[in-house]
Amino acid sequence: MEPVRTAAVIHLDRLAANVENIKKRLGPGVALTAVLKGDAYGHGIAGVYPTLRRCGVQGYAVAYWEEGAALRAAGAETEPIHLLAPIMDGELSKCVEYRLAPSIFSVEQAKKLDELAAAAGTAAPVQIKIDTGMRRIGFDADDVSGTVKAVAEIAALPHIHIAGLFTHFSRADELDCPETEKQLARFNAVLEALKAAGVDMPPVHVSNSPSILLRPEVQMDAVRGGDVLFGLCPVDEDKWPGMGLQEVMTWETYVAMVKTVPAGEPVGYGGTYVTKRETRIATVPVGFCDGYSRRLSNRGKVKIRGQLAPIIGRVCMDQFMVDVTDIPGVAAGDRVELLNGEDLSILWMADTLDANVDEIVCGVTKRVPRIYVD
Amino acid type, 233:
C
Per-residue buried b or exposed e for 50-75, using 16+ beta carbons within 10 Å of the residue's own CB: ebbbebebebbbbbbbebbbbbbebe
- Rounded to an integer, what distance in angstroms lies between the CA atom of residue 50 and that of residue 344? 28
Report helix, strand and coil shares of the chain as percent, to nearest 5.
35, 25, 40
Q: Report the pLDDT value the prediction gives residue 1, as an integer from 0 to 100.
A: 58
Q: What is the dihedral of CA 213, 219, 224, 226, to 10 degrees?
A: 0
Q: Report the pLDDT value the prediction gives residue 241, as an integer from 0 to 100.
A: 84
Nearest CA-CA partner of 324 in 366, 361, 283, 292: 283
Structural domains in the chain plus CATH codes: 12-233 (3.20.20.10), 249-373 (2.40.37.10)
- Rounded to an integer, what distance in angstroms lies between the CA atom of residue 144 and that of residue 221? 22
CB atoms near residue 16 (< 10 Å): 16
DSSP 30: P
Q: Report the pLDDT value the prediction gives residue 159, as an integer from 0 to 100.
A: 98
Question: Which residues, 6+ apart, have CB-to-CB distance to 107 below 8 Å?
Answer: 150, 153, 154
Amino acid type, 149:
K
Q: What is the dihedral of CA 339, 51, 373, 366, to 10 degrees?
A: -60
Nearest CA-CA partner of 107 in 80, 89, 85: 89
DSSP H or E run through 362: helix 357-362
Question: What residues act catalytically?
Answer: 37, 269
Q: Is the dihedral of CA 153, 159, 165, 167 positive or negative?
A: negative
Q: Report the pLDDT value the prediction gives residue 176, as an integer from 0 to 100.
A: 84
For residue 320, CA distances in Å to 61, 242, 312 come to 37, 35, 8
Q: Is the dihedral of CA 215, 216, 218, 223 positive or negative?
A: positive
- Rounded to an integer, what distance in angstroms lies between the CA atom of residue 114 and that of residue 137? 21
pLDDT along the chain (374 residues), means of 10: 89 98 98 98 98 98 98 98 98 98 98 98 98 97 98 98 98 91 97 97 97 95 98 87 94 98 98 98 98 98 98 98 98 98 97 97 98 97
CB atoms near residue 353 (< 10 Å): 16
Q: What is the dihedral of CA 53, 58, 64, 69, to 10 degrees?
A: 60
Amino acid type, 306:
G
Question: What is the value of pTM for the model shown?
Answer: 0.96
pLDDT digits (tens, 9 = 90+) for 84-99: 999 999 999 999 999 9
Q: Report the pLDDT value the prediction gives residue 322, as an integer from 0 to 100.
A: 98
Q: How many residues does the chain have?
A: 374
